[in-house]
Amino acid sequence: MNIPVWLANRLVGAAVTEAADGPPRAVGAAREIARAGSGIAVAADSAAVSLRFLSDAIVELAVGGPDDERLPSFARLAAPLCLPPGPIELEEGDEECRLRSRALELRLRRAGLQLEVCDRQGASLLRDDERFGLAHTPRGWRVHWALEPEDRFYGLGARTGGLDRRGRRVGVWSRDALVGEATDPLYSAIPFFVIARRGRWLGVLLDSPGHSVFDFGHTVADRLSFGPCRGALSVLLFTGPTLSQVLEQYTAVTGRAPLPPRWSLGHHQSRYSYDDESEVREIAAEFRQRGIPTDAIHLDIHYMRGFRVFTFDRSRFPAPAALSADLARDGFRLVAIVDPGVKRDKRYDVYREGIEHGYFARAGGAPFYMKVWPGDAAFPDFYRAEVRRWWGDWHRVYREAGIAGIWNDMNEPAGWKHAWYVGDGVIPLGEQDPGRATHQLEDGRSVPHAAVRNAYGHLENQATYEGLLRLRPDERPFVLTRSAFAGTQRWAAQWTGDVCSTWSALRQSLPMMLGLGLSGQGFVGSDIGGFLSDSTPELYARWIQIGALAPFCRSHTSLHSHRQEPWSFGPRVEAIARAALQQRYQLLPYLYTAFRDTARTGMPLWRPLFAEFPDDADVVAVEDQVMVGPALMAAPVFEPGASSRRVVLPRGSWFDWYSGQSLEGGQALTVDAPLERMPLFVRADVAIPTQPEVRFADDRPEQPLIWEVFLTGAARGEIGLVYEDDGRSFAYQRGQSSVTRVWCDGEALRFRSGEGLYASPRSGALVRLHGAAVGDDGLLQIPHGVAEHVLPLRWA
Ligand code: GLC
């Protein structure tokens, strides 16, 4: 592959040096233990330790020596969304003290401060590695826990390699790098992971915004160690016991993704860059004329005047507000890219304001500059509320231009490492290392970049989300980000960055997105077709088939690469793309309902098979299939030339989504997968809410809902539901939503609506039965507006 110079810059990225931890120094014995709130404060030989309950099932461990920097938490909500713990009991013995909530017992040995976490029956859930326990190393505080042979580990954001992190040693460090097969770490720096242990789940957040290192039995096979590379240690333990409870507990502390605007669940089309207004209009017209549903077109960096954020290049985009208004009439929205680097230019008001008010990061008493797209750029100090507010307010430029969503890129933050070519000229680079930069915190303290780097993009997303909300308080903002930290889910969707147009990158996109979902970030997608280099027609077809079922669905590609609109690869691939996207739009009621679950519980739309089938040992290692919500399972094709693939069907009964053929689970089988069809399965005894074809997400709201019901005859109880609201405002928080549930008692299906105040504009509902039950004809009708409708079943 011939790599252009601008990309070679990116390959270098910000290297993470991982020196050995060095010999650990134990924390020493407890000199004094005192009750403190919902826990205890321990004075040990070399540090102060606090152990307390945030809820009955969530434990916080905080450790710091007298000289350790203590930073505010950027991950946590000011007030967690969980119930506070019930009464806490403390039992002090000579050797050990025990602290009990209603769910857990924490045992702390006085000598060496060895910790063991047990349930209330005394069964051990987690314990310190006896050789080290809690210790201080030359690289900072380290927790050392004993590993069990069958333990599995997931999370820590989007990473290359397998989903299970066991046996690996990885850094958490937000980094701009081209996604190669083994590039690590990448853009997201989420210091949260989950542990699968003996059928039970635990979650761990290392609440540190600096570089941290996690060793999952890599250095010592039966030891897990992790810690921040500087400063005090703060660890939160979420004890489940199920995976969904762990995610619920974690997102109770770090926040949940709010319901996104419905249009953002549609297809987004992007390119670096659509050159000018007429090209954008042409692209939009093509989508409509060709009958390919789409909601958004993205404007990459060339819409700006000389890469100055919050500006438009008027020679390319003379009247952005008129453009957005015209596109809106046709059901399109524009999303504009924003980079944090502000061009160093005294005649540019954003830069001038930032300098005047001291809003930029500093280096040695002067603003810190790094070269990015506009050349020398200054970087807003998002760590202060005042700076976030300023940045958020600048988004009025986009609001006035009718821009509906913001795409935050390069926010690791990224800067070039080598000379950078613009046209024929070369921009020479000076010192680029952001390590020289310092940031000012809310309390006035100045801290080195390395201490807080991982939260930089995170806080930019906060600034953007809150700014958009201030500008239009009753409109759900849409923000897309490349970098992310623990808790970013409450402000932004995320994509997996610059992936290559290769089969291995397509395959890799599954564990990357699933890894994000298991890190609390569920609204994720990967550039459909791949970003770098040219996609082939076949690769694009396979990519859009699975990409069309991803939580975030965007086609994007880079400068100089082959066109990557759905019609760019000839009529056959265009038809495949059309079918895949139409299917996404037909499934929107199901997808939207799943997003509402994410907003309530933290459970992502995309989940590994083991999340739905925790007792099925055969699905544990399956990483090339994905559950789309609780009921659908997709088996994408990752091989060129393939016309079939092997699929693992988890235990239970299944149906083929397309043919309606019933299949027995608990087996692996080879299924047909011609280019026109990605294998897709649906669990038996479910009702999936769908809708007829639309051109964009909010198109033809009066069309009926269509329930696709798959029955075996064993169905009993609730088999499906649909959540509805206006899809754009916050009225749902004031009761303007509705839920319709489908029940089966073996003899009839019952459709019950009436939960919530929202009056759906739909003209009614239709039911299509698959499987053992037979209907009178293809579609059965449910009259409009009835609170309960009973549909008798006949069995074949
Ligand atoms: C970065 C982004 C990419 C974008 C490009 C130009 O590489 O990851 O998506 O197109 O910058 O803005």
CA-CA-CA-CA torsion sign (497, 500, 506, 512): negative
- Give the side-chain half-sphere CA count within 13 A for 146: 13
Instruction: Please tell me the least confidently modeled range out of 23-37, 140-154, 315-329, 483-497.
Output: 23-37
DSSP secondary structure code for residue 733 in this structure: G
Do 66 and 231 contact (CB within 8 A), yes or no?
Answer: no
Q: Name the residue with the closest Cα to ligand 1, atom 10.
A: 272
| Ligand 1 proximity of 414 Cβ (cutoff 6 Å) | no
40 forms beta bridges with 35, 51
- Residue 617's alpha-carbon distances to 58, 277, 622, 651, in angstroms, are 28, 54, 10, 10
Pocket test for ligand 1, best of 176, 275, 300, 560 (most atoms within 8 A of CB): 300
Q: Which atom of ligand 1 is nearest to the CA of 301?
A: 12
Residues 6+ apart with CB under 8 A from 431: none
Do 754 and 694 contact (CB within 8 A), yes or no?
Answer: no
pLDDT band at 429 (very low <50, low <70, confident <90, very high): very low
Residues 6+ apart with CB under 8 A from 643: 672, 673, 674, 675
Comparison of pLDDT for 638 and 11, the residue scoring more: 638
| Ligand 1 proximity of 497 Cβ (cutoff 6 Å) | yes
The separation between CA 147 and the C-alpha centre of its own chain, rounded to angstroms, equals 28
How much is the pLDDT for 773?
A: 78
How many angstroms is it from 434 CA to the middle of ligand 1?
20
Q: Name the residue with the closest Cα to ligand 1, atom 5.
A: 272
The separation between CA 752 and the C-alpha centre of its own chain, rounded to angstroms, equals 33
Do 206 and 244 contact (CB within 8 A), yes or no?
Answer: no
Query: Residue 231: phi, psi to the nearest 5?
Result: 75, -175
**Model confidence at 15: pLDDT above 60:** no
With tokens 């608990």, the residue in question is: 666
User: What is the Cα Rg of the chain in Å?
Assistant: 27
Spot the catalytic one: 295, 300, 412, 527: 412
d(CA 16, CA 22) in angstroms, rounded, equals 17
| Ligand 1 proximity of 300 Cβ (cutoff 6 Å) | yes
d(CA 704, CA 781) in angstroms, rounded, equals 10
Q: Which atom of ligand 1 is nearest to the CA of 482?
A: 8
How much is the pLDDT for 7?
A: 52
Share of the chain above pLDDT 70, in %: 95
How many angstroms is it from 340 CA to the middle of ligand 1?
13
How much is the pLDDT for 105?
A: 98
> Which helix or strand (DSSP H or E) is residue 609 part of?
helix 609-612
Residue 28 CB-density burial (10 A; 0-12 exposed, 13-18 middle, 19+ buried): middle
Do 174 and 382 contact (CB within 8 A), yes or no?
Answer: no
| Ligand 1 proximity of 495 Cβ (cutoff 6 Å) | no
Instruction: Please tell me the least confidently modeled range out of 13-27, 531-545, 710-724.
Output: 13-27
Pocket test for ligand 1, best of 373, 409, 560 (most atoms within 8 A of CB): 409
Q: Which atom of ligand 1 is nearest to the CA of 497?
A: 8
The tokens of 53 are what?
Answer: 């309950």
Query: Residue 612: phi, psi to the nearest 5?
Result: -95, -25
Question: How many residues does this entry show for the chain?
Answer: 796
Q: Which atom of ligand 1 is nearest to the CA of 10?
A: 7
Average pLDDT (60-82) is 95
How much is the pLDDT for 304?
A: 98
Q: Which atom of ligand 1 is nearest to the CA of 558?
A: 10
Do 345 and 308 contact (CB within 8 A), yes or no?
Answer: yes
3-state SS assignment for residue 521: coil
| Ligand 1 proximity of 337 Cβ (cutoff 6 Å) | yes
d(CA 595, CA 574) in angstroms, rounded, equals 28
The tokens of 693 are what?
Answer: 């074809």
| Ligand 1 proximity of 173 Cβ (cutoff 6 Å) | no
Instruction: Please tell me the least confidently modeled range out of 3-12, 168-177, 446-455, 736-745.
Output: 3-12
Residues 6+ apart with CB under 8 A from 509: 496, 499, 526
Q: Name the residue with the closest Cα to ligand 1, atom 3.
A: 498
Spot the catalytic one: 498, 612, 685, 725: 498
How much is the pLDDT for 14?
A: 36
Q: Which atom of ligand 1 is nearest to the CA of 337?
A: 12
- Give the side-chain half-sphere CA count within 13 A for 252: 21
Average pLDDT (560-570) is 96
Q: What is the largest CA-CA distance in the chain?
A: 80
How many angstroms is it from 482 CA to the middle of ligand 1?
9
Do 194 and 240 contact (CB within 8 A), yes or no?
Answer: no
pLDDT digit string, tens, across residues 138-160: 888 999 999 999 999 999 999 99
How much is the pLDDT for 183?
A: 87
The tokens of 22 are what?
Answer: 């060095």
How many angstroms is it from 639 CA to the middle of ligand 1?
27
d(CA 177, CA 182) in angstroms, rounded, equals 11
| Ligand 1 proximity of 482 Cβ (cutoff 6 Å) | yes
300 is catalytic: no
**Model confidence at 4: pLDDT above 90:** no
For 276-289, give one letter per residue: b (16+ CB within 10 A) or e.
Answer: ebeebbebbeebee
**Model confidence at 303: pLDDT above 50:** yes
| Ligand 1 proximity of 301 Cβ (cutoff 6 Å) | yes
pLDDT digit string, tens, across residues 717-728: 999 999 999 999
How much is the pLDDT for 422?
A: 44
Pocket test for ligand 1, best of 274, 498, 559 (most atoms within 8 A of CB): 498
- Residue 57's alpha-carbon distances to 80, 195, 256, 375, in angstroms, are 13, 15, 18, 50
DSSP per-residue string spanning 746-787: SSEEEEEEEESS-------EEEEEEESEE-SSSEEEE-TT-S
How many angstroms is it from 269 CA to the middle of ligand 1?
14
36 forms beta bridges with 39
Q: Which atom of ligand 1 is nearest to the CA of 339?
A: 12
d(CA 596, CA 592) in angstroms, rounded, equals 6
d(CA 490, CA 486) in angstroms, rounded, equals 10
How much is the pLDDT for 17?
A: 37
pLDDT digit string, tens, across residues 228-250: 999 999 999 999 999 999 999 99
- Name the pairing type of β-strands 493-495 and 524-525: parallel
How many angstroms is it from 409 CA to the middle of ligand 1?
7
Average pLDDT (36-52) is 95
| Ligand 1 proximity of 176 Cβ (cutoff 6 Å) | no
pLDDT band at 513 (very low <50, low <70, confident <90, very high): very high
330 is catalytic: no
pLDDT band at 777 (very low <50, low <70, confident <90, very high): low
How many angstroms is it from 532 CA to the middle of ligand 1?
10
Angle 723-724-725 from CA coordinates, rounded to 5°: 135
Angle 378-382-386 from CA coordinates, rounded to 5°: 110
143 forms beta bridges with 134, 226
Q: Which atom of ligand 1 is nearest to the CA of 531?
A: 9
How many angstroms is it from 528 CA to the middle of ligand 1?
14
Q: In the predicted model, what is the mean pLDDT of the chain? A: 93
DSSP secondary structure code for residue 83 in this structure: P
Residue 620 CB-density burial (10 A; 0-12 exposed, 13-18 middle, 19+ buried): middle
CA-CA-CA-CA torsion sign (246, 247, 248, 254): positive
- Residue 462's alpha-carbon distances to 401, 420, 437, 524, in angstroms, are 21, 30, 21, 17
Do 157 and 144 contact (CB within 8 A), yes or no?
Answer: no
pLDDT digit string, tens, across residues 623-671: 999 999 999 999 999 999 999 999 999 999 999 999 999 999 999 999 9
| Ligand 1 proximity of 498 Cβ (cutoff 6 Å) | yes
Q: Which atom of ligand 1 is nearest to the CA of 559?
A: 10
pLDDT band at 729 (very low <50, low <70, confident <90, very high): very high
How many angstroms is it from 559 CA to the middle of ligand 1?
9
| Ligand 1 proximity of 341 Cβ (cutoff 6 Å) | no
Pocket test for ligand 1, best of 178, 186, 272, 372 (most atoms within 8 A of CB): 272
Spot the catalytic one: 60, 164, 409, 460: 409
d(CA 409, CA 407) in angstroms, rounded, equals 6
d(CA 118, CA 57) in angstroms, rounded, equals 11
**Model confidence at 71: pLDDT above 50:** yes
Angle 141-147-148 from CA coordinates, rounded to 5°: 170
| Ligand 1 proximity of 409 Cβ (cutoff 6 Å) | yes
Comparison of pLDDT for 425 and 552, the residue scoring more: 552
**Model confidence at 2: pLDDT above 80:** no
Share of the chain above pLDDT 90, in %: 86
498 is catalytic: yes
How much is the pLDDT for 783?
A: 83
Q: Name the residue with the closest Cα to ligand 1, atom 4.
A: 272
The tokens of 790 are what?
Answer: 């009973």
How many angstroms is it from 258 CA to the middle of ligand 1?
26
Pick from 133, 107, 111: which is nearest to 30 by CA? Answer: 111
How many angstroms is it from 44 CA to the middle of ligand 1?
49
How many angstroms is it from 494 CA to the middle of ligand 1?
13
pLDDT band at 74 (very low <50, low <70, confident <90, very high): very high
pLDDT band at 433 (very low <50, low <70, confident <90, very high): low
Q: Name the residue with the closest Cα to ligand 1, atom 7.
A: 498
How many angstroms is it from 410 CA to the middle of ligand 1?
7
How much is the pLDDT for 571?
A: 98
The tokens of 735 are what?
Answer: 């009761």
Residues 6+ apart with CB under 8 A from 423: none
The tokens of 565 are what?
Answer: 């609109």
